[in-house]
A and B are shown apart, each in its own frame.
Chain A
């Protein structure tokens, strides 16, 4: 069953249209990748799903309910959570304080301890550094914290934008390895990722976005062998 469904979504900035009718559906518990070249509209899609940008047309259904017009914080309360590009941490707060900030939705608060254990298990480094200011950590640690803060909101659907951007390969590998844990605990995940090979290697299903539309979709294993993916990026 689809926990999140996007139907013919259109949006953009000012007068400039970026999304030209995107259809996408996230199956419960599945890890889904969203890939595509620069300017394809990946971040815009996440922002529109989240409600940071109002949809011009189309619908966003969360657990069967039309949430297209709900503001972002209401969506977060329902369990739809975005880990934004560039992390957007509270840099002068400690790791633990950042995690507490993530746990503000009412449905997340009772599960604070359990979720904290989960993120510390996923990212032992954060446990070691829980009293350190977020701004003093390395890029990889900050990205871990951004994902962890998202998890503290007890998401049913977690959307992660550009997780590996600007990180050293070793850290990228670590982050990707920790993603399999999300599947174990049943969190439906939508992952926007620059490295197509990585995205297709860890996810179950994938969408390739080009020029604001879904160009290709299918099981990630199949797309990993599909020459059309490269064509969608390079235009030939």
Chain B
């Protein structure tokens, strides 16, 4: 398997706060990589460093063997990386198809409107939104807006897709459908990194998982390894020693 993305010693600070602290990992082509960690761990900030929203203070990002550190997000998108956002913000007064055309037009290939419309329709079909193509994006429900967000990213024909909490706000049936969709996207040859809090889903869908806590990578492994890792358990459930001290103090 060849390496698609290399993150090398990336650090991002906001004033005195180190939001991402010396994070390094490699991503292989065709992989689904889960990125988990408690609130405020730095997951979205790491995405923002990877796709150029932020320029990291230290470290390098290599994508398709090219050093893309400091590139602008639109250049990164042109080079084959797309993402979805936790808070979906469709262009509410455009139709669903037009929204997806925007993704196509500013993606990996330059294309005219006609070709963008064709790509959009193909993506909408794939994501089960074809019947809604002529609706205004603002009229979609939450699950449909999440799919639209994904459609816009896919229409840019990425090699790497960054998914930021695509399952948040979905009901259990919608979560199952979205998980199936993520797997189907990977089967089309698109490599995926996904941030997720819905643990049973991320454990089920990921080949490998990274765990961030206070900006640092504290664990990396298969879902099984991660679920059994004491550092991860402590990051999620808290320090067990503190409770022991409390009990001893009380007795």
By a beta-carbon cutoff of 8 Å, the part of chain A in contact with chain B is 12, 15-18, 20, 37-39, 169, 172-173, 176-177, 180, 194-198, 200-202, 211, 229-230, 233-236
Contact = CB atoms under 8 A, between A and B. Distances in A.
B240 interface: yes
Contacts of A12: 169
A133 B41 CA distance: 32
B98 to A, nearest CB: 21
Contact of B239 (A37, A195, A202, A211): A195
B242 A236 contact: no
Interface string B193-209: 00001111111100000
B250 A16 contact: no
A177 B249 contact: yes
A211 B244 CA distance: 29
A201 B251 CA distance: 12
Given A229-B237, A235-B201, 5 more contacts: A37-B197, A177-B249, A177-B250, A201-B246, A202-B246
Q: Is the interface of B mostly helix, strand, loop or mixed?
A: helix
Nearest to A39: B197
B169 A235 contact: no
B111 interface: no
Nearest to A224: B243
B215 to A, nearest CB: 15
Count chain A CB atoms within 10 A of each CB in B200, B232, B243, B245 and give the residue with the most.
Answer: B243
A12 B242 CA distance: 33
B227 interface: yes
A197 B239 contact: yes
B240 to A, nearest CB: 5
B223 interface: yes
Nearest to A15: B142
B2 interface: no
Interface string B175-211: 0000000000000000000000111111110000000
Interface of B: 38-39, 141-142, 168-169, 171-172, 197-204, 223-224, 226-227, 232-233, 236-240, 242-247, 249-250
A233 to B, nearest CB: 5
Nearest to A202: B246
B171 A195 contact: no
Nearest to A180: B250
A20 B171 CA distance: 8
A12 B170 CA distance: 12
A236 B169 contact: no
A16 B142 contact: yes
Count chain A CB atoms within 10 A of each CB in B39, B172, B199 and give the residue with the most.
Answer: B199
Given A17-B169, A211-B172, A235-B227, A198 B199 contact: no
B249 A195 contact: no
Contacts of B239: 169, 195, 197
A195 B197 contact: no
B249 A38 contact: no
B162 to A, nearest CB: 19
Contacts of B198: 39, 211, 235
12 contacts: A15-B142, A16-B142, A20-B171, A39-B168, A173-B245, A176-B246, A180-B250, A194-B38, A198-B242, A211-B198, A234-B232, A235-B202
A28 B236 CA distance: 30
Contacts of A180: 250
A201 B227 contact: no
A17 B246 contact: no
Contact of B242 (A20, A37, A197): A197
A229 B237 CA distance: 9
Contacts of B227: 234-236
Contacts of A200: 243
A167 to B, nearest CB: 11
B39 A38 contact: yes
Contacts of A16: 142, 168-169
B16 to A, nearest CB: 14
B214 to A, nearest CB: 11
A227 B223 CA distance: 17
